[in-house]
Amino acid sequence: MSNLRIDGDRLWDSIHETAVFGGTPDGGVKRLTLSQEDRKVREWFKSQCEQLGCRVSIDEVGNMFALRPGLDDNLAPIAIGSHLDTQPTGGKFDGILGVLAGLEIIRVLHDADYHTRHPLILVNWTNEEGARFAPAMLGSGVHAGVFDRSFADSRIDAEGVTFAQAIEAIGYRGPTPLGQTRFAAMFELHIEQGPVLEREAIEIGVVTGVQAMRWYDLVIVGREAHAGSTPMDMRQDALADAAQIILAAQDVARRHGGLATTGQITIAAPSRNVIPGHVTLSLDLRHERDGELDAMEREIASIIEDRCQSARATLAPIWKSPAVRFDASCLEAIKKGASAAGASTRNIVSGAGHDSVYVSRIAPTAMIFIPCLEGLSHNPAESASKKHCTLGAQTLLNAVLFHDQISADQGSS
């Protein structure tokens, strides 16, 4: 195992080669799930895996599984991977780094003619970002039984296209039954998407869990009226109410040590000289502890009721993900893998959601973080160094090999 080394140049070349699929003039990547750009990068991924002797299967929601046989194919495969889709203002590293690091691992093993005891399976999960179809982590959620296919198919994007229509349009409705592909464990490599590792000059984050997350749609209905002739004390301004609620939610989050974000606001039939009478906005709440998130939700619901005296307000939950604690044996494998790679480490909790959240419900799972420049993600300027990408992939390779040996030994004892 000590002779197996990630080819950092090859990994770096793959990162930049795949960035052309949906590449934008500002150096970013716009590769929304089930778009034609997504289809192209999927075809590239499938071809690369098949060239290495992997058998690629695709399930009914487009999740892709590239299987490399092991010495004992009676053992469940160890999974590695992440996602290929991006945000509308995405970069070159979010998600795809975990897929390409997995591909590089298979290349290293292939070149060395080295076979793990467990089969290995490299995964591309569909619609992790949730940017086109809400909620996020849809493909892994269906795989884990959190959602069913009918729910996934019914998701609608901003243009009125359903998930079902989009997946058929790019030809990625696969025949593999949902949830049939099972794992002995899963490891996911990702950029941190935060500033902690860079600030502390730490090379590898051992991700012990993921904070709880909840998404809501808030609809406020006031009354449209003329902007020039309606006195301020007679207005039912839905947007003004929305603005107060957004700021109040942020205050609640600060007091509880959590996070509150509004990333989407829509005014029905907007006009410069009309008081907004119908506003829809998103609300994203997060906290490391479910109980604190419960308290945040109650306070914000009370604020909405109090502040929308002249309007009707409806707060509708659309997605809920409880706090996650990752598997101790997988975390130990990552720590050993980082030590063998000579990397500095610290434990860290993920502030962002990842496919590993849902996979952890059905298999032992853990994640690895590497630093990203200024903690920036979901932005064309998103950046990670070649050194850290290589070190993260090496840690991932080492962790998989450690876990392969230990779990195979336990299974045969």
Task: CATH number of the domain at 72, please.
Answer: 3.40.630.10
**Residue 258 within a domain:** yes
Close Cβ partners of 183 (under 8 Å, ≥ 6 residues apart): 76, 77, 78, 79, 121, 359, 362, 363
How many CB atoms sit inside 10 A of residue 297's CB? 19
269, 290, 321 — which closes off a domain? 321
Instruction: Output the pLDDT for position 1.
Output: 52
**Residue 350 within a domain:** yes
pLDDT digits (tens, 9 = 90+) for 229-255: 999 999 999 999 999 999 999 999 999
Pair (118, 233) in one structural domain? no
285, 306, 321 — which closes off a domain? 321
Pair (122, 58) in one structural domain? yes
pLDDT digits (tens, 9 = 90+) for 344-373: 999 999 988 899 999 999 999 999 999 999
Beta bridge partners of 213: 286, 321
Instruction: Output the pLDDT for position 410.
Output: 67
For residue 263, the domain's CATH number is 3.30.70.360
Pair (168, 233) in one structural domain? no
pTM: predicted TM-score of the whole model, two decimal places = 0.86
Q: How far is CA 246 from CA 51, 171, 238, 300, 301, in A?
A: 51, 41, 12, 9, 12
290, 321, 352 — which closes off a domain? 321
**Residue 380 within a domain:** yes
Report how far residue 186's alpha carbon sits from residue 78's, in angstroms, rounded to the nearest whole number: 6
Burial of 151 (0-12, 13-18, 19+ CB in 10 A): middle
Pair (273, 360) in one structural domain? no
Band of the pLDDT at 413, cuts 50, 70, 90? very low
Pair (194, 238) in one structural domain? no
Instruction: Output the pLDDT for position 309.
Output: 72
Pair (120, 56) in one structural domain? yes
